[in-house]
């Protein structure tokens, strides 16, 4: 199955970000991708964390979700939309403070939304003047989510969803592997500070320990809000080999995922069946 990880440097204007995403999705489809993955916050990297509240949508409706469904249908690709802000539902705030879910939506090639994952682990980090706390605006999800993609290669791929900071919590990916996942997705907006020492190491570790492919679509560059993200979108095979990557700036990273290689490696090293804890 041919997979594309789309790298962006999203700014503060929603429409401009959608136009970039549109161009990258068309490039991915033109390169034969069957599955395309957008990065976290593809639709907006605002000047303030609260800016995402202004573009939040109810699940199943809104211009961002309409755009995603239309592009998946038009291009005939499976599309995993990095993340977008979704309403909490009937309760639109927590303890009187507005909150949203940071949600990854999966669209089939017919434009139907077939899966939703709400980011479970919320990033908090302080390093000098650099400070982040997603819990001030986001509500954490609670459930791991997988979906099935019947590929043109004849295999139905089982795919586990995650987002950015989730990458540091190996138990989430172990649960996916135990449930039979072949491919793990990691749309992200890793900071430059944490990405440089940890990003590739963590992605390759998740692939190796679970004998699964990993696709990671990242934000990569200097944003309008002054934030700098690490980028290095990449696709990693079950042996930890980086198949393709892009360091910085917007672009499309494409690689062919081979289910026979995955099965061979799992047969040669049946570590998943050796677990005792």
Residue positions annotated with a catalytic role: 40, 119, 164
Give the residue from 78, 41, 5 showing the smallest Cα distance to 242.
Answer: 5
CB atoms within 10 A of CB 263: 14
Residues 242, 234 contacting (CB under 8 angstroms): yes
Q: Where are the alpha helices (DSSP H) in 94-169?
A: none
Give the residue from 263, 277, 255, 253 showing the smallest Cα distance to 182.
Answer: 263
**124 bridge partner residues:** 133
């Amino acid at each position: 199955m041919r997979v594309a990880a789309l790298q962006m440097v999203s700014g503060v204007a929603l429409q401009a970000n959608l136009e970039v995403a549109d161009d990258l999705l068309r490039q991915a489809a033109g390169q034969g991708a069957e599955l395309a993955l957008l990065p976290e916050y593809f639709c907006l990297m605002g000047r303030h964390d609260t800016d995402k509240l202004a573009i939040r949508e109810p699940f199943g409706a809104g211009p961002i979700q309409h755009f995603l469904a239309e592009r998946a249908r038009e291009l005939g690709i499976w599309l995993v939309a990095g993340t977008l802000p979704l309403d909490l539902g009937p309760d639109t705030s927590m303890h009187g403070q507005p909150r949203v879910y940071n949600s990854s939506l999966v669209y089939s090639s017919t434009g139907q939304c077939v899966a939703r994952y709400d980011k479970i682990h919320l990033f908090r980090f302080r390093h000098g003047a650099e400070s982040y706390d997603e819990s001030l605006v986001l509500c954490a999800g609670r459930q791991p989510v997988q979906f099935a993609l019947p590929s043109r290669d004849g295999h139905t791929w089982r795919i586990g969803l995650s987002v950015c900071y989730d990458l540091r919590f190996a138990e989430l990916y172990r649960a996916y592997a135990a449930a039979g996942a072949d491919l793990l997705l990691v749309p992200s907006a890793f900071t430059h500070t944490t990405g440089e020492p940890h990003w590739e190491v963590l992605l390759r570790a998740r692939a190796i320990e679970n004998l699964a492919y990993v696709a990671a679509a990242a934000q990569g560059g200097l944003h309008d809000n002054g934030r700098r993200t690490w980028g290095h979108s990449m696709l990693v095979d079950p042996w930890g080999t980086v198949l393709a990557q892009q360091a910085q700036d917007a672009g499309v990273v494409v690689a062919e995922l081979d289910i026979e290689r995955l099965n061979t490696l799992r047969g040669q090293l049946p570590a998943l069946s050796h677990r005792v804890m």
